[in-house]
Structure 1
């Protein structure tokens, strides 16, 4: 295709650590064929070391990471590939950086009680993010503004219900409507 892009969708499943972003984003990917990425995997080792030590990241730590995520989505868009990204995207300014990637980004904000999320975090064994950082994340969280494309889902729902609700509210077609041949899922 020269000079034109196939229609793509770019979804960011956002919220504080422990909200279920990765689980829901993977579920959306499995149901729809959108290319999944975990934003945490884009962090430089210095950021990971800080979070492992219980030290919150500051904006200077986050800007290059957010730009890398926006670039990843933009590159997939240029390939005609739709994406779903699990990313905290806690502040409007962070989401603005993500929107600098593909032409349009839609957000699914997983939100719920601090108690429920803290409980989930303390039971995790496979993640470097300490439950002690939950309060710092909640302190900087800026909910979606009315002009931002997205929705809020309650994290108390079971993961399969969250995935189904996100797919339905976003109007995403099921995987059978996507051409999953090769490495670039496209809408049929």
Structure 2
């Protein structure tokens, strides 16, 4: 898969970073954590326990969109991780970009909360999980999105992703 990007999406705690890093290694692709593209103001806001609003996310989504365009223009392959919780966020990432596929890591709020409680070094606090699920717009009728069940083992998830992406990777 050259000049293409795969965006691993879902709520915090769904396993985006783990799956994204392992998928990138499996595909010999670059890996970019979308959290690293947040402007400083967003990081500070999230660290204080305040959820981001759409105006906070706009410059972040523009940075992701630009990075995906750069990957495409250099004929490289990259796996990005980005929550992309609303359809309009996914549309902002797609805008002007070719060869973008999304992998939605789907799971119950209970499982995600359990995972978040086990983390110690991430800015996402467990009380923010509610806000993520509240704004989540599950991908429906989006042909470039595949859904993966996070209750599977990591290896099963990776195998399922690669199988379902098929010839596009």
TM-score of the pair, normalised by structure 1:
0.85
1:49 to 44, 60, 69: 44
1:112 to 107, 115, 126: 107
Q: Which runs of 5+ in 1 are unaligned?
A: 1-5, 175-188
Matched with 1:66 is 61
Matched with 1:168 is 163
C-alpha change, 1:29 and 1:167, in structure 2 (3 Å) is same
- Deviation, 1:172, is 5.6
* Number of aligned residues: 169
Matched with 1:16 is 11
**Between Structure 1 and Structure 2, which shows a larger proportion of helix residues?**
2
- Residues 1:156 and 2:164 aligned together: no
Q: Deviations over 1:84-115 (max 9, x none)?
A: 10100000000001002521311110011111
Cα distance in 2 for partners of 1:37, 1:151 equals 19
- Greater Rg over alpha carbons, structure: 1
Runs of 4+ aligned residues of structure 1 deviating over 6 Å after TM superposition are: none
Cα distance in 1 for partners of 2:13, 2:158 equals 16
Matched with 1:181 is none
SS in 2 for 1:142: coil
- Residues 1:131 and 2:126 aligned together: yes
1:87 to 72, 82, 98: 82
Query: Residue 14 of structure 2 contacts residue 107 of structure 2 at CA under 8 Å; is this kept in 1?
Result: yes
